[in-house]
Amino acid sequence: MALGHDQSVIAALKQAQQALTGEKEFSRCLLESMADGVVACDSNGILTLFNRSAREWHGLDALGLPPDEWAQHYDLFRMDGITPLPAEEIPLARAIKGEVVRDAGMAIKAKGQPIRFILANGSVILDEAGHKLGAVVIMRDVTEFRRLEQELRKSNEELEKRVEKRTEELRKTAGDLNEAQRIAHIGSWELDLLTNQLFWSDEIYRIFEIDPEEFGASYEAFLQTIHPDDREYVNAAYTDSVRTRTSYSIDHRLLLAGGRIKYVHEHCETFYDNDKPIRSAGTVQDITGQKLAEEERSLNLRYFESMDKVNRAIQAATDLEGMLGDVLDAVLQVFDCDRAFLLYPCDPGAPSWSVPVERCKPEYPGVLELGIEVPTGSDVAQTFRILLEADIPVQFGPGTQHPLPADTSERFGFKNFMSIAFRPKIGSPWQFGLHQCSRVRNWTAEEERLFREIARRLADGLNTMLIYRDLQKSEQRYRLVFRNSPVSIWEEDFSGVKALLDSLKQEGVTDIEAHFQRHPEVIRQCAQLVKVVDVNEAALVLHGAASREALLAGLIDTFTEESFDTFRAELACLWNGTNVMIRDAAVRTLTGERRDVTVYLAVCPGYENSLGKIFVSLIDITERKRVEEELRLQTVELEEEVAERQMTQENLQEKALLLEEEIEKRQKTQEELEQLNKTLEQRVKERTIELEEKNMELHKMNRIFVGRELRMVELKERIRELEGKKK
């Protein structure tokens, strides 16, 4: 009996040992498959771990070197890529001394390889008793991000210079263009300052949407058409221009029927008799479309810039606290609020809550500074219920339908706030919120939309970092990461493919690409030989599958032409002995919806010869592609607008030249008329002298002739003769 019991115990121990060995093997494979570099040392500073990425970057494996020789042997430099990295600045050396290293930058210039720029995060490793076991550093290759950032910065600088140049050109000609519009009577008006009578052209009545028969044409009636918030500003601009004898150009709003708003641009000049203003005249242009487009472009630009700040904070983080803090720093800047916080748990049934991460202006410290657990009162519990039921941003305080929680608002001094609840895959719900302490503030719909999108990205990042933190705690968590990772991960067996490829080599095939070109059926044969060992939940979500079985049953439906091209590239890499491949591709969900993805293939270390274990990750980049396309379209639109403004400027300059030619013609005609008048005046003078001479002759004739009747007849005859000559 005792012997049988011992045998069962031995069998159980062997089974446990096999399970532990399997878990360790899985952990090792997953660590070796990571795209990030991982380096660790023991408590004496002796390097003990270089994963695959670290070995490839350095071109070396871990060597038993003291820390002061690491920089030289592993070709470490500062971020300028020139200055050798001092031993005391090496991230692992700082971590072994007990420092928490966050986003430490350095460059690796391994021999025979291009320079790599790295961000490193690390810390000391302690056992449960607090004894130092060593240190670990995780490194992320940011070379490509650095290059793209430099290219984007250069592109933005060039575009800004072009826009600035065009804007300066438009500014220089603005005075001439406005004068040309006034002469051409485009939306013209005139105000008689002596009678207060206002004249509007038909174009202005159309812009203002007013019936000429119903409009009391006066300056006061004009002011009533202006938006109340702009009325004082417009009146002040006009009266100041009259007082200072200067012209003015302003933009303001019109308040139309039904509460509609238009934007107009006005230009005005006033004319004087000596020092007395007698008449003002100007033009009006409808710029509503331009203003709305500028506002929309400004909102979109603010939205994308804000999301870019948040995305950078999330993508650059390697630890949970650092990521959450960086995101809240960005949020505090984007919304210009007094306090941004994350509260946990957002659970009305929890006895208490705390604020693990908080960012605030110095004059408005919050719960985090106190470092306390706050009991969940009835008001706070009701706030939690509202947020969990809404699942969208909710505003609390004056001017909203939700009152402030009395105790906490009074204790921590906020006058209103906006919050949203989100549920990560691990743990209880969280609350993400903004406090306004200095004043009452109502956030706009656009701010709510931005806040909601940031919350969504924060939830994704939080979910990822929570999983990643659990992965670091124990080897058992590695399997949990595989199952719950937000990245689609496939564990596949390519041993059948390896056998087929080996048989082709034995048949004398040397160019696999050419062979695939001649025999495309081989690619489908290889696809059928691939065995899917396991997939995680993210893979099911990515492809819209209800279960692993449903995904595998409809696997062929998820392929696109790009998928087959990617699979073909995978086969070519494996044929050439390349064990890592990264490539963008596209897949479909089971319902036919397209998803843009980045495919990362890695042969698990130890399986290079058999290809029996390969990890394939599919990272969903659909949203990133969409944002990139929107940014591209926005850039194209801006360039088109610059070109359109340039064309408009050229057309207006051409019209101005035509007007100048017309004015010159009118001046020439005026000169000809003046010359003609001078000629006529001279002829009149000559005729006058001639008439005076004739009158003298008549007087002489009167004295010569005696008879009255005869003198009258001759006089009439002579007058008729003179009048005929005059004609």
**Residues 604-645 pLDDT 10s:** 888 888 988 888 888 888 887 787 777 778 778 877 877 777
Residues 193, 279: Cα–Cα separation, whole Å: 5
Which residues partner with 659 through β-bridges?
Answer: none
Predicted confidence at residue 312, as pLDDT, reads 77
Q: How confident is the model at residue 393, as a pLDDT?
A: 93
> What is the pLDDT, as a whole number, of residue 389?
92
Question: Does 647 score more than 60 pLDDT?
Answer: yes
> DSSP of 441-484, one letter per residue?
----HHHHHHHHHHHHHHHHHHHHHHHHHHHHH-THHHHHHHHH
In the prediction, which pLDDT does 3 show?
57
The single-letter code of the amino acid at 727 is: K
Residue 701, pLDDT score: 56
* 513: number of Cβ within 10 Å: 11
Buried-exposed string 660-698: b where 16+ CB fall within 10 A, e elsewhere? eeeeeeeeeeeeeeeeeeeeeeeeeeeeeeeeeeeeeee
Going from the C-alpha of 505 to that of each of 83, 306, 500, 508, 655, the distances in angstroms are: 48, 54, 9, 5, 76
Residues 88-97 as b or e (16 or more Cβ within 10 Å = b): ebbbbbbbbe
Query: Has residue 177 got a pLDDT over 60?
Result: no
| Rounded Cα gap, residues 40 and 133, in angstroms | 10
* 3-class DSSP assignment, residue 250: strand
pLDDT of residue 56: 85
Q: Are 163 and 638 in contact (CB under 8 A)?
A: yes
pLDDT at 333: 85
Closest CA to 95 of 134, 68, 57: 134
Higher pLDDT, 555 or 354: 354
Among 94-103, 336-345, 610-619, 667-676, where is mean pLDDT lowest? 667-676
Which are the contacts of 188, defined by CB distance < 8 A and separation ≥ 6?
181, 182, 201, 203, 204, 281, 282, 283, 284
Give the span between the Cα atoms of 289 and 264, in whole angstroms.
Answer: 10
- We find that the CATH architecture of domain 185-286 is 2-Layer Sandwich (3.30)
**Are the C-beta atoms of 601 and 618 separated by less than 8 Å?**
no
How high is the pLDDT of residue 324?
82
Structural contact between residues 92 and 39, judged by C-beta atoms closer than 8 angstroms: yes
Strands (E), 469-589: 488-493, 531-535, 580-588
Summarised one tens digit per residue, pLDDT across range 476-489 is 555 666 676 777 88
Q: Given pLDDT bands bounded at 50, 70 and 90, which one contains residue 469?
A: low
The span from the CA of 404 to the CA of 550, in Å, is 48
Q: What is the mean pLDDT of residues 406-416?
A: 89
Report pLDDT for 702.
52
| Token reading at 713 | 């007849």
Higher per-residue confidence, 673 vs 441: 441
- Residue 176 dihedral angles phi and psi, to the nearest 5°: -65, -40
- 68 vs 473: which has the higher pLDDT: 68
pLDDT digits (tens, 9 = 90+) for 223-242: 888 888 888 989 998 999 88
Mean pLDDT (whole number) for 332-354: 90
Question: Which residues have a Cβ under 8 Å from the Cβ of 116 and sit 6 or more positions away?
Answer: 57, 107, 108, 109, 110, 141, 143
Task: Tell me what the pLDDT averaged over the chain comes to.
Answer: 81
Q: What is the CATH number of domain 18-141?
A: 3.30.450.20
Most confident of 142-151, 393-402, 678-687: 393-402
- Where do the CATH 3.30.450.40 domains begin and end in the chain? 337-471
Domain with CATH 3.30.450.20 in the chain: 18-141, 185-286, 487-620
> Does residue 674 register a pLDDT over 50?
yes
Per residue in 77-98, pLDDT (tens digit) is 998 888 988 888 889 888 888 8
φ, ψ (nearest 5 deg) of residue 180? -60, -40
- Contact assessment for residue 595 and residue 589, using Cβ atoms and an 8 Å cutoff: yes
pLDDT at 299 exceeding the cut of 70: no
pLDDT at position 199: 87
Q: Are 554 and 506 in contact (CB under 8 A)?
A: no
The reported pLDDT for the residue numbered 351 is: 92
pLDDT surpassing 60 at residue 35: yes
Q: Work out the average pLDDT over 450-455.
A: 86
The fraction of the chain above a pLDDT of 70, given in percent, is: 86
- The Cα 351–Cα 348 span in angstroms is 8
CATH tag, 337-471: 3.30.450.40
Work out the pLDDT band at 4, boundaries 50, 70, 90: low
In 10 A of CB 354, how many CB atoms? 15
In degrees and rounded to multiples of 5, residue 416 shows phi and psi of -165, 165
Instruction: Determine the topology of domain 487-620 in CATH.
Output: Beta-Lactamase (3.30.450)
Identify the CA nearest to 282 among candidates 194, 220, 198.
198
Determine the average pLDDT of the residues in 168-190.
Answer: 58
Q: Is the pLDDT of residue 700 over 70?
A: no
Query: Residues 407, 408, 411, 413: what is their CA dihedral angle, to the nearest 10 degrees?
Result: -120
Helix (H, G, I), strand (E, B) or coil at 272: strand
Distance, in Å, from the CA atom of 464 to the CA atom of 425, rounded to the nearest integer, reads: 9
Lowest mean pLDDT among 90-94, 386-390, 536-540, 720-724: 720-724
Do 225 and 266 touch, CB atoms closer than 8 A? no
- Rounded to an integer, the average pLDDT of 498-518 is 90
Identify which of 182-186, 293-297, 312-316, 347-351 has the greatest average pLDDT.
347-351
Asked if the model's pLDDT at residue 592 lies above 60, the reply is yes
Distance CA 296, CA 638 (A): 13
pLDDT(541) > 80? yes
Which positions ≥6 away from 592 have C-beta within 8 Å? 557
pLDDT classification of 182: cutoffs 50, 70, 90: very low
Instruction: State how far the Cα of 41 lies from the Cα of 4, in Å rounded to an integer.
Output: 45
Provide the pLDDT for residue 50: 85
Quote the pLDDT of residue 478.
Answer: 58
